[in-house]
Protein backbone atom coordinates (compact mmCIF):
# COMPACT_ATOMS: atom_id res chain seq x y z
CA UNK A 1 0.00 0.00 0.00
CA UNK A 2 1.22 3.49 -0.82
CA UNK A 3 0.30 6.61 1.17
CA UNK A 4 -2.69 6.74 -1.24
CA UNK A 5 -3.59 3.30 -2.60
CA UNK A 6 -5.57 2.62 -5.80
CA UNK A 7 -8.76 1.93 -3.80
CA UNK A 8 -8.61 5.47 -2.46
CA UNK A 9 -7.47 4.75 1.09
CA UNK A 10 -5.07 7.40 2.32
CA UNK A 11 -3.20 7.45 5.59
CA UNK A 12 -2.83 11.23 5.21
CA UNK A 13 -5.35 13.99 5.82
CA UNK A 14 -6.14 16.77 3.35
CA UNK A 15 -3.20 18.83 4.67
CA UNK A 16 -0.71 15.99 4.09
CA UNK A 17 -0.36 15.13 7.79
CA UNK A 18 -0.68 11.60 9.12
CA UNK A 19 -4.13 10.43 10.07
CA UNK A 20 -2.94 6.83 10.28
CA UNK A 21 0.50 5.24 10.00
CA UNK A 22 0.24 1.90 8.23
CA UNK A 23 3.32 2.04 5.99
CA UNK A 24 6.26 4.28 5.15
CA UNK A 25 5.85 3.51 1.45
CA UNK A 26 4.99 6.63 -0.48
CA UNK A 27 5.48 9.06 2.41
CA UNK A 28 6.91 12.44 1.51
CA UNK A 29 10.52 13.10 2.52
CA UNK A 30 9.60 16.31 4.33
CA UNK A 31 7.06 14.46 6.48
CA UNK A 32 9.62 11.75 7.34
CA UNK A 33 12.24 14.39 8.20
CA UNK A 34 9.69 16.23 10.34
CA UNK A 35 8.93 13.03 12.27
CA UNK A 36 12.66 12.36 12.77
CA UNK A 37 13.27 15.93 13.98
CA UNK A 38 10.30 15.66 16.35
CA UNK A 39 11.69 12.33 17.64
CA UNK A 40 15.15 13.82 18.16
CA UNK A 41 13.51 16.44 20.36
CA UNK A 42 12.35 13.63 22.69
CA UNK A 43 15.73 11.82 22.85
CA UNK A 44 17.43 11.99 26.24
CA UNK A 45 20.79 10.65 27.37
CA UNK A 46 20.91 7.44 29.45
CA UNK A 47 20.35 8.32 33.10
CA UNK A 48 18.57 11.60 32.31
CA UNK A 49 14.93 12.05 33.27
CA UNK A 50 13.08 11.03 30.08
CA UNK A 51 11.22 13.68 28.09
CA UNK A 52 7.60 14.22 29.09
CA UNK A 53 4.83 16.38 27.69
CA UNK A 54 1.11 17.08 27.54
CA UNK A 55 0.59 16.57 23.80
CA UNK A 56 -1.72 13.59 24.37
CA UNK A 57 -3.56 14.91 27.43
CA UNK A 58 -7.17 13.76 27.10
CA UNK A 59 -6.30 11.11 24.50
CA UNK A 60 -6.58 7.36 24.98
CA UNK A 61 -4.24 4.92 23.24
CA UNK A 62 -5.06 1.19 22.96
CA UNK A 63 -2.36 -1.38 22.18
CA UNK A 64 -3.74 -4.48 20.47
CA UNK A 65 -0.99 -6.97 19.75
CA UNK A 66 -1.85 -10.40 18.38
CA UNK A 67 1.83 -11.32 17.96
CA UNK A 68 4.43 -11.27 20.75
CA UNK A 69 6.34 -8.06 21.39
CA UNK A 70 8.61 -6.60 24.03
CA UNK A 71 10.13 -3.45 22.50
CA UNK A 72 7.29 -2.14 20.34
CA UNK A 73 4.48 -2.63 22.79
CA UNK A 74 6.39 -1.35 25.83
CA UNK A 75 7.70 1.67 23.94
CA UNK A 76 4.28 2.64 22.58
CA UNK A 77 2.92 2.41 26.11
CA UNK A 78 5.75 4.51 27.54
CA UNK A 79 5.53 7.00 24.68
CA UNK A 80 1.80 7.50 25.21
CA UNK A 81 2.12 7.79 28.99
CA UNK A 82 5.03 10.23 28.77
CA UNK A 83 2.80 12.43 26.62
CA UNK A 84 0.01 12.22 29.22
CA UNK A 85 -2.37 9.83 27.40
CA UNK A 86 -4.49 7.18 29.06
CA UNK A 87 -3.30 3.77 27.86
CA UNK A 88 -5.06 0.43 27.65
CA UNK A 89 -3.17 -2.74 26.72
CA UNK A 90 -5.43 -5.46 25.39
CA UNK A 91 -3.92 -8.91 25.73
CA UNK A 92 -5.69 -10.42 22.76
CA UNK A 93 -5.26 -13.98 24.02
CA UNK A 94 -7.11 -13.01 27.21
CA UNK A 95 -9.71 -10.88 25.42
CA UNK A 96 -13.14 -11.74 24.07
CA UNK A 97 -11.49 -12.39 20.69
CA UNK A 98 -10.91 -15.96 21.94
CA UNK A 99 -14.70 -16.24 22.48
CA UNK A 100 -15.24 -15.43 18.82
CA UNK A 101 -15.54 -11.65 18.83
CA UNK A 102 -14.31 -10.21 15.56
CA UNK A 103 -11.47 -7.72 15.29
CA UNK A 104 -13.89 -4.99 14.22
CA UNK A 105 -16.27 -5.65 17.09
CA UNK A 106 -13.29 -5.44 19.44
CA UNK A 107 -12.31 -2.13 17.85
CA UNK A 108 -15.86 -0.74 18.04
CA UNK A 109 -16.08 -1.81 21.69
CA UNK A 110 -12.90 0.08 22.57
CA UNK A 111 -13.90 3.01 20.39
CA UNK A 112 -17.09 3.25 22.49
CA UNK A 113 -14.75 3.72 25.48
CA UNK A 114 -13.27 6.76 23.68
CA UNK A 115 -10.05 5.24 22.39
CA UNK A 116 -8.45 7.76 20.03
CA UNK A 117 -5.47 5.78 18.73
CA UNK A 118 -5.21 2.04 18.08
CA UNK A 119 -1.73 0.53 17.85
CA UNK A 120 -2.08 -2.83 16.15
CA UNK A 121 0.33 -5.69 15.58
CA UNK A 122 -1.10 -8.53 13.55
CA UNK A 123 0.28 -11.48 11.59
CA UNK A 124 -2.32 -11.11 8.86
CA UNK A 125 -1.55 -8.76 5.96
CA UNK A 126 -4.10 -5.98 5.53
CA UNK A 127 -5.59 -5.95 9.03
CA UNK A 128 -4.26 -2.52 10.01
CA UNK A 129 -5.57 -0.82 6.87
CA UNK A 130 -8.88 -2.67 7.23
CA UNK A 131 -9.28 -1.33 10.76
CA UNK A 132 -8.23 2.16 9.65
CA UNK A 133 -10.96 2.09 7.00
CA UNK A 134 -13.60 1.31 9.63
CA UNK A 135 -12.78 3.50 12.62
CA UNK A 136 -14.53 6.81 13.30
CA UNK A 137 -13.17 9.89 11.55
CA UNK A 138 -11.37 11.22 14.61
CA UNK A 139 -9.65 7.88 15.40
CA UNK A 140 -6.15 6.93 14.21
CA UNK A 141 -4.58 3.53 13.57
CA UNK A 142 -0.83 2.94 13.84
CA UNK A 143 0.87 -0.25 12.78
CA UNK A 144 3.01 -1.92 15.43
CA UNK A 145 4.11 -4.49 12.84
CA UNK A 146 2.09 -6.08 10.05
CA UNK A 147 2.94 -9.63 8.95
CA UNK A 148 6.19 -9.58 6.92
CA UNK A 149 5.12 -6.34 5.23
CA UNK A 150 5.52 -3.30 7.37
CA UNK A 151 6.89 -1.99 10.65
CA UNK A 152 6.85 1.75 10.06
CA UNK A 153 7.93 3.00 13.50
CA UNK A 154 10.83 0.52 13.42
CA UNK A 155 11.87 1.98 10.06
CA UNK A 156 11.76 5.47 11.55
CA UNK A 157 13.76 4.53 14.64
CA UNK A 158 16.35 2.80 12.47
CA UNK A 159 16.63 5.92 10.30
CA UNK A 160 16.93 8.11 13.41
CA UNK A 161 19.73 5.90 14.75
CA UNK A 162 21.64 6.09 11.45
CA UNK A 163 21.16 9.85 11.37
CA UNK A 164 22.51 10.23 14.91
CA UNK A 165 25.63 8.17 14.24
CA UNK A 166 26.28 8.94 10.58
CA UNK A 167 24.86 12.43 10.11
CA UNK A 168 23.07 11.76 6.81
CA UNK A 169 22.15 9.19 4.20
CA UNK A 170 23.48 10.32 0.83
CA UNK A 171 26.91 8.65 1.09
CA UNK A 172 25.85 5.80 3.36
CA UNK A 173 26.37 2.12 2.53
CA UNK A 174 23.78 0.09 4.45
CA UNK A 175 24.01 -3.72 4.51
CA UNK A 176 21.00 -5.68 5.75
CA UNK A 177 21.90 -9.27 6.63
CA UNK A 178 19.73 -12.32 7.21
CA UNK A 179 16.12 -13.33 6.74
CA UNK A 180 15.08 -10.48 4.51
CA UNK A 181 12.32 -12.49 2.85
CA UNK A 182 10.19 -12.62 6.00
CA UNK A 183 11.24 -9.28 7.49
CA UNK A 184 8.90 -6.32 7.91
CA UNK A 185 11.86 -4.52 9.49
CA UNK A 186 13.89 -4.82 6.28
CA UNK A 187 10.97 -3.65 4.12
CA UNK A 188 10.31 -0.58 6.25
CA UNK A 189 14.05 0.16 6.45
CA UNK A 190 14.36 -0.02 2.67
CA UNK A 191 11.34 2.26 2.27
CA UNK A 192 12.60 4.95 4.63
CA UNK A 193 16.14 4.75 3.26
CA UNK A 194 14.74 5.15 -0.26
CA UNK A 195 12.76 8.21 0.82
CA UNK A 196 15.83 9.73 2.48
CA UNK A 197 18.10 8.98 -0.48
CA UNK A 198 20.53 6.40 0.92
CA UNK A 199 23.77 6.00 -1.04
CA UNK A 200 23.73 2.21 -1.35
CA UNK A 201 21.53 -0.55 0.02
CA UNK A 202 22.77 -4.13 0.09
CA UNK A 203 20.85 -7.29 0.96
CA UNK A 204 22.80 -10.31 2.18
CA UNK A 205 21.54 -13.78 2.94
CA UNK A 206 21.04 -17.33 1.70
CA UNK A 207 18.92 -17.65 -1.46
CA UNK A 208 15.95 -19.12 0.41
CA UNK A 209 15.77 -16.08 2.72
CA UNK A 210 16.06 -13.46 -0.02
CA UNK A 211 12.95 -11.56 -1.17
CA UNK A 212 11.39 -12.00 -4.59
CA UNK A 213 13.23 -10.30 -7.46
CA UNK A 214 10.71 -7.45 -7.85
CA UNK A 215 11.04 -6.40 -4.22
CA UNK A 216 13.65 -3.93 -2.91
CA UNK A 217 14.25 -2.17 -6.24
CA UNK A 218 17.75 -0.73 -6.53
CA UNK A 219 19.27 -2.86 -3.77
CA UNK A 220 22.31 -5.02 -4.52
CA UNK A 221 22.08 -8.67 -3.51
CA UNK A 222 24.86 -10.80 -2.02
CA UNK A 223 25.08 -14.43 -0.95
CA UNK A 224 28.44 -13.85 0.78
CA UNK A 225 28.52 -11.95 4.08
CA UNK A 226 32.14 -10.90 3.60
CA UNK A 227 31.42 -9.37 0.20
CA UNK A 228 28.16 -7.78 1.31
CA UNK A 229 29.54 -5.93 4.32
CA UNK A 230 32.79 -4.85 2.65
CA UNK A 231 33.25 -1.14 3.50
CA UNK A 232 29.68 -0.87 4.83
CA UNK A 233 28.85 2.05 7.14
CA UNK A 234 25.85 0.32 8.70
CA UNK A 235 25.41 -3.42 9.22
CA UNK A 236 21.85 -4.31 10.14
CA UNK A 237 21.45 -7.90 11.32
CA UNK A 238 18.06 -9.63 11.25
CA UNK A 239 16.63 -12.56 13.14
CA UNK A 240 15.49 -15.66 11.27
CA UNK A 241 11.68 -15.45 11.46
CA UNK A 242 11.06 -19.12 12.26
CA UNK A 243 7.40 -18.35 12.97
CA UNK A 244 6.83 -17.38 9.33
CA UNK A 245 8.39 -20.53 7.82
CA UNK A 246 7.49 -24.17 7.46
CA UNK A 247 9.62 -26.29 9.80
CA UNK A 248 11.44 -27.90 6.87
CA UNK A 249 12.64 -24.54 5.53
CA UNK A 250 14.13 -23.28 8.79
CA UNK A 251 17.93 -23.15 8.42
CA UNK A 252 20.10 -25.12 10.82
CA UNK A 253 21.30 -22.59 13.46
CA UNK A 254 24.95 -23.70 13.58
CA UNK A 255 25.27 -23.85 9.80
CA UNK A 256 23.65 -20.42 9.50
CA UNK A 257 26.05 -18.89 12.04
CA UNK A 258 28.97 -20.40 10.13
CA UNK A 259 27.92 -18.60 6.91
CA UNK A 260 26.05 -15.50 8.03
CA UNK A 261 26.67 -14.97 11.75
CA UNK A 262 28.30 -11.59 12.42
CA UNK A 263 31.53 -12.18 14.37
CA UNK A 264 34.21 -9.64 15.35
CA UNK A 265 36.48 -11.04 12.60
CA UNK A 266 33.83 -10.61 9.93
CA UNK A 267 32.87 -7.14 11.13
CA UNK A 268 36.42 -6.01 10.27
CA UNK A 269 35.36 -6.14 6.59
CA UNK A 270 33.05 -3.18 7.22
CA UNK A 271 34.38 0.35 7.74
CA UNK A 272 36.22 0.73 11.08
CA UNK A 273 33.60 3.19 12.30
CA UNK A 274 30.66 1.09 11.04
CA UNK A 275 27.70 0.70 13.37
CA UNK A 276 25.94 -2.61 14.04
CA UNK A 277 22.16 -2.60 14.33
CA UNK A 278 19.61 -5.29 15.21
CA UNK A 279 15.87 -4.66 15.70
CA UNK A 280 15.65 -7.38 18.36
CA UNK A 281 14.86 -9.84 19.64
CA UNK A 282 18.37 -11.25 19.06
CA UNK A 283 19.34 -14.88 18.78
CA UNK A 284 22.92 -14.76 20.01
CA UNK A 285 25.11 -17.36 18.36
CA UNK A 286 22.72 -17.66 15.40
CA UNK A 287 22.77 -14.34 13.53
CA UNK A 288 25.15 -12.40 15.79
CA UNK A 289 27.99 -13.20 18.17
CA UNK A 290 27.68 -11.80 21.70
CA UNK A 291 31.04 -10.01 21.31
CA UNK A 292 29.50 -7.99 18.47
CA UNK A 293 26.07 -7.50 20.04
CA UNK A 294 27.69 -6.09 23.19
CA UNK A 295 30.74 -4.60 21.46
CA UNK A 296 31.77 -0.99 20.88
CA UNK A 297 30.21 -0.76 17.41
CA UNK A 298 26.81 -1.99 18.56
CA UNK A 299 24.04 0.65 18.71
CA UNK A 300 21.32 -1.88 19.48
CA UNK A 301 20.36 -0.34 22.82
CA UNK A 302 20.31 3.11 21.26
CA UNK A 303 17.79 1.74 18.76
CA UNK A 304 15.61 0.65 21.67
CA UNK A 305 15.82 4.09 23.30
CA UNK A 306 15.06 5.77 19.98
CA UNK A 307 11.98 3.57 19.69
CA UNK A 308 10.34 5.46 22.55
CA UNK A 309 11.27 8.84 21.04
CA UNK A 310 9.98 7.90 17.59
CA UNK A 311 6.69 6.62 18.97
CA UNK A 312 6.29 9.82 20.99
CA UNK A 313 6.88 11.76 17.77
CA UNK A 314 4.31 9.77 15.79
CA UNK A 315 1.67 10.00 18.53
CA UNK A 316 2.22 13.72 19.06
CA UNK A 317 2.07 14.34 15.29
CA UNK A 318 -1.24 12.45 15.11
CA UNK A 319 -2.63 14.43 18.05
CA UNK A 320 -1.54 17.77 16.57
CA UNK A 321 -3.00 16.82 13.18
CA UNK A 322 -6.29 15.88 14.80
CA UNK A 323 -6.44 19.12 16.78
CA UNK A 324 -5.87 21.16 13.64
CA UNK A 325 -8.62 19.23 11.80
CA UNK A 326 -10.91 20.29 14.62
Residues found near ligand CP in the complex (CB under 6 A): 69-72, 145, 154, 279-281
Measured from the CB atom, the residue of 65 and 222 that comes closer to ligand CP is: 65
- Rounded least distance, CB 154 to ligand CP, Å: 5
Specify the residue, 12 or 310, whose C-beta has the smaller distance to ligand CP.
310
User: In angstroms, what is the minimal distance from the CB of 150 to ligand CP?
Assistant: 12
Could you give the angle at which helices 127-134 and 103-111 cross, rounded to 10 degrees? 40
- Shortest distance, CB of residue 46 to ligand CP, whole angstroms? 19
Backbone angles phi, psi at 57, to 5 degrees: -60, 130
Q: Which is nearer to ligand CP, 12 or 190 (CB)?
A: 190
Shortest separation between residue 272's beta carbon and ligand CP, angstroms: 27
Please state the closest distance from residue 69 (CB atom) to ligand CP, in A. 3
Dihedral angle at the C-alpha atoms of 177, 180, 186, 191, nearest 10 degrees?
120
User: Which is closer to ligand CP, CB of 73 or CB of 317?
Assistant: 73
- φ/ψ of 286, rounded to 5, equals -110, -65
Q: How far apart are CA 59 and CA 314, in angstroms?
A: 14
Adjacent-strand bridge partners of 117: 61, 140
Q: Indicate the residue among 223 and 280 with the shorter CB distance to ligand CP.
A: 280
CB of 311 to ligand CP, least distance (A): 11
Indicate the residue among 69 and 89 with the shorter CB distance to ligand CP. Answer: 69
- Is-cis flag, bond preceding 281, omega within 30? yes
3-state SS assignment for residue 176: strand
In angstroms, rounded to a whole number, what is the distance separating the alpha carbons of residues 277 and 303?
8
- Give the residue among 17, 26, 72, 46 at the shortest CA–CA distance from 299: 46
CB-nearer residue toward ligand CP: 30 or 294? 294
Give residue 285's region: left, alpha or beta (phi > 0; psi -120 to 50).
left
Rounded to the nearest whole angstrom, what is the least distance from the CB of residue 276 to ligand CP in the complex?
15
Cα distances from 144 to residues 134, 136, 207, 228, 275, in angstroms, run 18, 20, 28, 29, 25
Of 202, 186, 203, the residue nearest 244 (C-alpha): 186
Q: Cβ of residue 112: shortest distance to ligand CP, in angstroms?
A: 28
Pick 69 or 84: Cβ nearer ligand CP: 69
Amino acid sequence: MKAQDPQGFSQLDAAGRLRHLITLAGLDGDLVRELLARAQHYVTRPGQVPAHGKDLAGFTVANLFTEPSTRTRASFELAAKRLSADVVNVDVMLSSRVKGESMLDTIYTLQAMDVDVFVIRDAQPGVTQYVAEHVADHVSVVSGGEAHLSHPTQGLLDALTMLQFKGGFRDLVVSIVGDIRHSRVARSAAQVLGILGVGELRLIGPDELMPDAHEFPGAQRFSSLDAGIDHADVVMILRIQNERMEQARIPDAAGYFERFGLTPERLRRARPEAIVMHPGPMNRGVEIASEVADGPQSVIRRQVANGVAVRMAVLSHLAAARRSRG
